[in-house]
Amino acid sequence: MSDGFDRAPEQTRPLRAPPSSQDKIPQQNSESAMAKPQVVVAPVLMSKLSVNAPEFYPSGYSSNYTESYEDGCEDYPTLSEYVQDFLNHLTEQPGSFETEIEQFAETLNGCVTTDDALQELVELIYQQATSIPNFSYMGARLCNYLSHHLTISPQSGNFRQLLLQRCRTEYEVKDQAAKGDEVTRKRFHAFVLFLGELYLNLEIKGTNGQVTRADILQVGLRELLNALFSNPMDDNLICAVKLLKLTGSVLEDAWKEKGKMDMEEIIQRIENVVLDANCSRDVKQMLLKLVELRSSNWGRVHATSTYREATPENDPNYFMNEPTFYTSDGVPFTAADPDYQEKYQELLEREDFFPDYEENGTDLSGAGDPYLDDIDDEMDPEIEEAYEKFCLESERKRKQ
């Protein structure tokens, strides 16, 4: 028996003796052992867990924010820690944006009271949106909400103005960044995609209350595309494809409203890159797929604006669900025939062609069908004789 189990009681030891043993087992003890077999029980391992242990959270989960954000930023040593905690929370649980953004903005209105604090807030959001994968969209939504709900407006500018100034700082070094090392280009690409999300999500309210997009971002995206295509490395071209898939339809509509042909120029530039640039085959395929997407109006499908009633002239399937009849000569008679409607209506009015029957065939008219009543169940003698021969022949073949 291994050390991991308890020893059996003394009286059961002879049961485990080898066959060559000369020891005799008393009859009484043997019967007792058989009547009450001893159960070998594994030892109970002592758990190292404690009921007083701190609550478990998955790695990366910000429990501090969950516990204390409702009390505002007073529970945090600094404003930046409170904001960073909320940004991490949105990164992990983006679905909480709708339910928690209002309270977050109210808390900021009580804490962000200086120019420096507002600058710090802008920088934290910008860094999160350009350094964390997949946060650019959420960051743009957050920026749009705060631009309309933060009340502080110092001399240095309100939230939206400071945000655009921060983006301009990165924009001004676009040409150097597009031809920089891999790390520099990666950071630049994150900025480009964040600016694309800002263009789509940042709403500017006009003097008459109309909502528009920031024209300055539209101009900036055009120049960023130029910088990417001027340095046709694979990662630059991939970034350009992502940006155009994200904003291409909106940009083209905006340029067309102004009578500009910028998208035509971009497509022409893409075709030149495919022909001349030394990019990889996969990237060239991506560029060609983008050109194909644009040729299909960016995948948009416009429904017909007016409803037209189906007629034989405009609907080839107009007669598909209409019944087909046959004349006495076996000629099909369909809805496409000129006299169909008149004759079909005549058939409907002739009740004798449509007796009242339930689905199970029961006659609801109360009287039997005279034709069916005349039918005799007896079989014709000649047919009956042939049927009997058939049965006998079948039985004989079955026995063989």
- pLDDT value at residue 62: 47
- pLDDT value at residue 386: 77
Mean pLDDT computed over every residue of the chain? 77
Phi, psi of 20 (to 5 degrees): -80, -5
Three-state SS at 97: helix
pLDDT of 246 strictly over 60: yes
Once rounded to an integer, what is the mean pLDDT over residues 132-144? 94
CB neighbour list of residue 255: distance below 8 Å, 6 or more residues apart: 261, 262, 263
Residue 90 and residue 145: Cα distance in Å, rounded? 14
pLDDT digits (tens, 9 = 90+) for 175-222: 999 999 999 999 999 999 999 999 999 998 877 778 889 999 999 999
Query: How many CB atoms lie under 10 A from the CB of residue 246?
Result: 19
- pLDDT value at residue 374: 52
Share of the chain above pLDDT 90, in %: 48
CATH topology of domain 79-299: 1.25.40
pLDDT of 169 strictly over 90: yes
pLDDT of 366 strictly over 70: no
Residue 340 and residue 346: Cα distance in Å, rounded? 10
pLDDT digits (tens, 9 = 90+) for 66-98: 444 455 666 777 889 999 999 999 999 999 999
pLDDT of 336 strictly over 80: no
155 vs 368 pLDDT, higher one = 155
Residues of the chain with CATH 1.25.40.180: 79-299
308 vs 243 pLDDT, higher one = 243
- pLDDT value at residue 269: 94
